[in-house]
Amino acid sequence: MEIEFTDITKMYGKKCAVDNVNLTLESGIYGLIGANGSGKSTLIKMLAGLLKPTSGKITLDGKDICAMGAAYRSKLGYLPQDFGFYPDFSAYDFLRYLCAVKGIGGSLAEERCKKVLYIADLYTVKDQKIKTFSGGMRQRLGIAQALLNDPSILIIDEPTSGLDPRERIRFRNKLGEMAAGKIIFYATHIISDISYLADRILIMKDGKIASKHVTSDELLAEAEGTVWLMNVKRSELPGIQSKFNVSGILPLEGDYLRIRIVSDVIPRLDAVSGSPDLEDVYMRFFGEVSEYADADKV
């Protein structure tokens, strides 16, 4: 199975949301990371066949996905970023309803609903109303619905609403368990999630894929020599921040701070080299701290 994006561009009026993306996907987990507005959801909607590219084409094993229509959709599971639940439905009724929408009927529908409820660890709460579910349970239900048709291509556009670390790990592990033989394409702006999970990381910036098909180890190796630690006076910080990307600040005794800087050149002669982590990589690409940057890692 191979999906190929050729010269994919999407314009919203004059706004170019996805800019000439070329990409090949084979089975495995792909993590698409990028800041808000970088074009992840737009790219994903085109992959899901819901949005037509302004130009370029996406093919599955050589066939244009737009021309494939239902034959493509039958292979596809999709969890949109803004997935709407019916709060008064139970999880089971909700999935049965979606089976009907997807044209899965009778005993097969019952079998599939049970199966995906097990996979998502929701079987024991299947008769509870969705409005009683936590954010993590809802996200797992979102995955469950995407799996109803036993898809070989699973596309997840992560909701921006945060999950607690325990639920994040659980969600991540679920995806890992299901990955065999599938293409999983997972968009997020939380780098730590995909660093554990993804076989390949794609970094999206301003509608372009800035870095593609690298593993997290390769990203880290590339960032070697770009992280610096140094002690500075509190009063020096604003000046340093105006010149460099500061990815961590730790207060020390008295008037001093230990700071972590991401820079391709040594920021000051007394700076010592540190080992990069994926937050630093993110900082290097986007010049901002990602949501889960850890302030006390310096």
- Where do contacts with Mg ion occur on this chain (CB under 5 A)? 40-41, 81
Q: In the complex with ligand ATP, which residue's Cβ is closer, 204 or 261?
A: 204
Return the residue of 21, 25, 41, 246 that touches ligand ATP, per CB under 6 A: 41
81 binds ligand ATP (CB under 6 A): yes
Q: How far is the CB of 36 from Mg ion (least distance, A)?
A: 7
DSSP, collapsed to helix, strand or coil, labels residue 129 as strand
Return the residue of 8, 23, 29, 38 that touches ligand ATP, per CB under 6 A: 38
Q: What would the x/- binding string for ligand ATP be over residues 188 to 217, using CB under 6 A?
A: -x----------------------------
Q: In the complex with Mg ion, which residue's Cβ is closer, 34 or 49?
A: 34
The one segment of 36-44, 58-66, 248-256, 288-296 that binds ligand ATP by CB under 6 A: 36-44
Return the residue of 14, 36, 124, 235 that touches ligand ATP, per CB under 6 A: 36
Q: In the complex with ligand ATP, which residue's Cβ is closer, 157 or 279?
A: 157
HEC letters along the chain? CCEEEEEEEEEECCEEEEEEEEEEECCEEEEEEECCCCCHHHHHHHHCCCCCCCEEEEEECCEEHHHHCHHHHCCEEEECCCCCCCCCCEHHHHHHHHHHHHCCCHHHHHHHHHHHHHHCCCHHHCCCEHHHCCHHHHHHHHHHHHCCCCCCEEEEECCCCCCCHHHHHHHHHHHHHHCCCCEEEEEECCHHHHHHHCCEEEEEECCEEEEEEECHHHHHHHCCCCEEEEEEEHHHHHHHHHHCEEEEEEECCCCEEEEEEECCCCCCCCCEECCCCHHHHHHHHHCCCCCCCCHHHC
Q: In the complex with ligand ATP, which residue's Cβ is closer, 149 or 188?
A: 188
Binding site partner of 135, from ligand ATP, Mg ion, none, Cβ cut-off 5-8 A by kind: none
Q: In the complex with ligand ATP, which residue's Cβ is closer, 6 or 81?
A: 81
Residue nearest to Mg ion (CB): 41
The one segment of 12-20, 113-121, 243-251, 278-286 that binds ligand ATP by CB under 6 A: 12-20
Q: How far is the CB of 267 from ligand ATP (least distance, A)?
A: 30
Return the residue of 1, 12, 67, 165 that touches ligand ATP, per CB under 6 A: 12
* Crossing angle for the helix pair 106-119 and 91-102, to the nearest 10 degrees: 130
